[in-house]
Structures are given as structure tokens and as C-alpha cells.
Structure 1
Amino acid sequence: MDIRHFRYFLAVAQQRNFTRAAQVLGIAPPTLSRQIQDLESALGVRLFIRQQRQVSLTEAGQALLPEADATVRQFELAQRNARRAGRGEVGHIELGYVASAVYSGVLQRQVQAFSRDCSEVSLSVQEAPMADLPVSVAEGRFDLGYVRSPMALPQELEAIGLNSEGFVLALTDDSWLTRLKGISAQHLQNETFILPEQISGTLQVAAQGGYAPRLGPQPGGLVAVIALVSLGQGVAVVPESVVGHISLPNVIYRPIEGCEARSWLSLIYRRFEKSPVVAGYIAKVKRDFRTVEAAAK
């Protein structure tokens, strides 16, 4: 006895006629009759009262009807859900990000676009220290991560480069630098640099000025960096996207003349990702990013 017998039983029960039920099922009436007999034999009861032109359910048949219907429905639901999971339409994603992914709006756009298309995929989204994110993704604590590049990645990870942006200088509004018509890299050689998680901008500005930077603390996220600037602990080279998003007392932002240093957000993921739902997110980001690039050209 298998699920096929229940389907045959339901067809006969609904049609009340073996010939019509066989037509619905696409099999020969003798085959259907034999399958019902096999089901009755396996259960040890009669399910139908057979009359010349129609059949009716016995008490045993009436008892089996709702159970057979529920069983077939559950079986079909299980198949459907398994296929959807295999296509990446249902499941769960653990996603980590650095704060600048939010300031730039990239995280919001990509998460919301994915959620619209895959409404039955749940996402757990959590800010994390950038230094920890690559290892967390590689070891499976996160499925995906948004980091600020350039940065070294474990060999088992790959990255999709997203939006590129320059750097600005965060400084106090009473700094002597504010009296200058323009601030160049050379003007900063005696300043203490508060370090964000991504220090490439600081190093490139110092290289442009031709000096080794005086390095201050590295407190963590960008809000913590700007907080130390507001306390007069130094200046900071930060991504342009913080302007208008992090506003603290005593802090202003100024461009750095001739600064060509850039950084960009990247989506990092495991090179040989096996989860269909995670692979679906990656594919959507690649597809949408190519569309944005094409529109910008």
C-alpha cells in the first residue's frame, strides 16, 4: 500500500463511479478496480459498496476518506516544500554587516529587494566587527557578510565589489585646519589619526603626504570613531557615506584635496556555497549589481 492507492481511493470516492474515476486518473478501469481491491485487501475491510452504475462508501470507507485526503495533501505539500527549498524559495539566511553598509543604503536596498522576491525566506541581520566577519562567514556563523574593502579574505571566500566611494576628513569644528581654504594630506602629518575598522584610507592619505601617520586608537565602528573625534582625540579619515548620517556635536567633515583613495562595500560569501537560498541571494545581488552598472554607463 502506498500513496497511489490513497489517490485512487479518493478519485473513486469523489466520482462515485469507477469508469469516471479511471478517466480522471488516466488509467484503465480494470487497473483501477484491481488497485482498489489491493487496498481493501491490505486494510482487511471493504471500502465501497459496488452497484451497477455507481458506488458508495462503506462505514470503513467513510472513516478513511478524511484521513486519506489529509495524507495526500500532506504528501503533496512535503514534495512542494522540498522542491521550493531546493530552488532557494524557502529557508533562512544569517547576514552580518558593517555599519557603513547601512549609511550607504546598499544593505537596505539589497535586503529589501530580496525579501520582496523571496518573501518566505527569513533573514537574521546583525552588525558585526569587520575584522571578525570574514572568519565568521568562512566558519558558517554567518552565511553572508557586507564588509568594506580592500581587505584580505580567507581563501575559501569570494567577494562581489559593490559601490565605490572616496574619503573625507572628520575633525572638530575648532580645529586649526578649519581655517585653511583647503586641507591637503600634507597638512595632516602632525595630526593623530583615529582609526576606523578599514584603515586603508588613512594609510593612503599618509602615503600621499609622504609621511608615516601618527596612529591613535581604533575604537571599532564609525560612530565610536567619530565620537573620539568629537572629544578632541584626533582626526579621522572616513568614508563619504558617513556625511549626513553621523552627526555629533563639535564634528564637521571636510574633503581632502587631491585624495584619490577609495574604498567599496563588498558582499563576501563562501566560494562553494551549498545552500540554495544563500546561493539565490548571491545570484540576485550579482544580477542587480550588473543592472545598476549598465544603467550608470
Structure 2
Amino acid sequence: MDIRHFRYFLAVARQRNFTRAAEQLGIAPPTLSRQIQDMETSLGTRLFIRQQREVSLTDAGAALLIEAEATVRQFEFAQRNAQRAGRGEIGHLELGYVASAVYSGVLQRQMQGFCQAFPDVSVNVRECAMAILPGAVADGRCDIGYVRSPMTLPDGVEAVRLDSEGFVLALPQDSWLLGLKVIHCEHLQNETFILPEQISGTLHVAAQGGFAPRLGPQPGGLVAVVALVSLGQGVAVVPASVVGHVSLPGVVYRPIQGSEAASWLSLIHRRFERAPAVVRYMQLVKAQALP
């Protein structure tokens, strides 16, 4: 027997008539009758008491009815789940991000849009060090990641460019620079720079100011960077989205006049990704990405 026989059996049990059941199934009554006979032969017992106008279940048929309904229901559930998984409507995502993706609001907007569109996809979200996130995507520990670009990516990993933003200067509250009405790049040539994970802003500001930067520690995430600034260990060139989101005692943010330094968030993913749920997320993000 196979699932088809269970469907035939259920149709006859519900209709209590072979002709009506055959019409419902779209087959000829003799064909349906033979299929039920095959079931009875296979089971070694009668399932129906046949009368002139209708049929009724035997005790064996009544017992089978409960199990047949559960079997067909589970079979249909399995089919639907397989189809939904193939369409990316269910599944699981491992998502890594750097803190500035949260400060900018990009991660929140895109996650909310995805979860509304695909509520049955579970997403595990965790903050990661930017130095390890591309490798985690490449080797499958993360499916997708939000990083701050520009940065070098491993083979097989690609990036979708997202929101761009400029940089600001994080200063200790007693810095002499706060006495200036406007801070230019060249004013920073004697400063020690606390380095965020993405150092392109620091290097760009130094290049615009015409000096080689004095590089201080690189403590990790942006909160750790700003914390060292608050302790008077130096200044830091940080993404503008940090302002208003990382507020520590002893730290003042100022624009850098004339600086053209900019960075942007990127969604990174494996180049030949085939997992439907991951592909769905990427499609959503690409539809929202800047041209």
C-alpha cells in the first residue's frame, strides 16, 4: 500500500458510497473498487460492509480510519514544509554583524522587513569582531554578515553595498582641539589615534592632513574605542552613526572640516549560496540597496 490507497480509503469512508467517492477523486468507480479490494487483500481483512446504496466501516476499517487520517495529514504537512523550505519560507539563518550596523539602524530595518515577510524563518543574530566575520561567512559559521567597508574579503565571499556615511572625531573632553572653532585634518598630526576595527577613516584623514598618523591601540568594537578616548588615551575617527548611540562620560564628538573620508555598511554572503532562506534574505536586501 502507499499514500494513494489511504486517500482512496478515506474518500470512501467519508462519502459512504463508491460512486460519490470516485467522483471526488476523479477516477472511475471500478478503479476505486479494485484499489479498496487490493487494500483489503493486503491487510487480510475487510474494511467495508458493502450494501446496495452505501457502505459502512467494519471494526477493522474504523480502526484504520483514525490512523489513515493521521498518516495523510502528516504526509501533506511534510509536503508543504518541503515546498516552503524550497521557497525559503522556513529555515534558519546565522547572522553576524558589527556594532555600527545597529547604530545606523540598517540591521533593524532589514531584519524587521525579512521577519515580517518570512515569519517562520528563525534567525540567530550575534555581534562579531569584524576581523573574523568574513571568514565565518566563508566557512559557514555565519550565513550572512554586516561589515563596514572597504575591506578585503576571502575568496568566495561577496558584498552588497548598503548605506554610506562619513566620519566624526571622538575627543577627550579636555582636548586642546575643543578650543578650535573648526577642526581640520592637519590639526590632528600630533594626536595618537585609537583605532576602530575599520581603520580606513583614520588613514584617509591623515592622508588629507598630509601626515603619517601616530597609531595607538586597536581595542576592538566601537564602544571599546570610545572608552579609551574617554580615558584620555587619544582621539578616534569613528562612523558618524556613533554619535547619539555611544555616549560616554568625558567624550565629545566633533566634525572634521573638509574631510571626505567615508565608509559604508555591506552585507557579505557566499558567492554561490543556494540555501533558500539565505537567498531570500539577500534578495530582500538587494532590492533595498542603493544603486
Q: TM-score, normalised by structure 2?
A: 0.99
CA apart distance, 1:179: 0.6
Shift of 1:110: 0.6
> Which deviations, in whole Å up to 9, do the C-alpha atoms of 1:77-99 show, x marking residues without a partner?
00000000000000100000000
- Corresponding residue for residue 84 of structure 1: 84
* Structure 2: stretches of 5+ with no match in the other structure: none
Runs of 4+ deviating beyond 3 Å? none
Partner of 1:161: 161
The answer as to 2:73 corresponding to 1:73 is: yes
SS of equivalent residue, structure 1 residue 284 = helix
> Residue in 2 aligned with 1:233?
233
- Confirm or deny that 1:173 pairs with 2:180: no
SS of the residue 1:63 aligns to: helix
- The 2-side partners of 1:257 and 1:288 are apart by 31
Contact 2:228-2:234 at 8 Å conserved across structures? yes
Q: 2:7 corresponds to which residue? A: 7
- Aligned-residue offset at 1:181: 1.1
> How many Å apart are 1:288 and its aligned residue?
2.4
Aligned positions of 1:143-292 closer than 5 A: 143-289=143-289
For 2:65, what is the secondary structure of its paired residue?
Answer: helix
How far did residue 287 of structure 1 move? Answer: 1.2
SS in structure 1 of the partner of residue 154 of structure 2: coil
Q: Residue by residue, what CA displacement relative to the aligned partner does 1:190-223 show, whole Å, maximum 9, x if unpaired?
A: 0000000000000000000111100000000000
Q: State the match for 1:22 in structure 2.
A: 22
Q: Distance in 1 between matches of 2:39 and 2:183?
A: 87
Counterparts of 1:66-145 in structure 2, within 5 Å, are 66-145=66-145
Summarize deviations over 1:104-127 as a string: whole Å, max 9, x none. Answer: 000111111101110000000000
Q: How far off its partner does 1:289 sit?
A: 2.5
Alpha-carbon distance, 1:274 to partner: 1.6
- 1:35 lines up with 2:12 in the alignment: no
Measured in 2, the distance between the counterparts of 1:105 and 1:51 equals 71
SS at match of 1:161: strand
Q: Secondary structure at the match of 2:69?
A: helix
**What is the percentage of aligned positions where both structures have the same residue?**
75
Q: Which amino acid aligns with 1:87?
A: R
Query: Could you tell me how far apart the structure 1 residues matched to 2:172 and 2:288 are?
Result: 39
1:168 is paired with a residue of what secondary structure?
A: strand
Please tell me the residue identity of whatever aligns with 1:142.
C
SS at 1:137 equivalent: helix
How far 1:155 sits from its partner (Å)? 1.7
Are 2:60 and 1:60 aligned? yes
**Deviations, residues 126-169 of structure 1 (Å, cap 9, x unaligned):** 00000000000000000000000000001200101000000000
For the residue of structure 2 that corresponds to 1:88, the secondary structure is coil
Q: How many angstroms apart in 2 are the aligned matches of 1:227 and 1:80?
A: 51
Q: How many residues align?
A: 291
Amino acid at match of 1:123: V
TM-score normalised over the length of structure 1: 0.97
Query: Residue deviations 1:46-81, cap 9 Å, x none?
Result: 000000000000010001001001000100100000
In 1, the alpha carbon distance for the partners of 2:145 and 2:289 equals: 16
> Which of 158-167 and 280-289 deviates more?
280-289
3-state SS of 2:94 partner: strand
Give me the whole-angstrom Cα distance separating, in 2, the residues matched to 1:2 and 1:176: 83
Aligned residue identity for 2:184: S
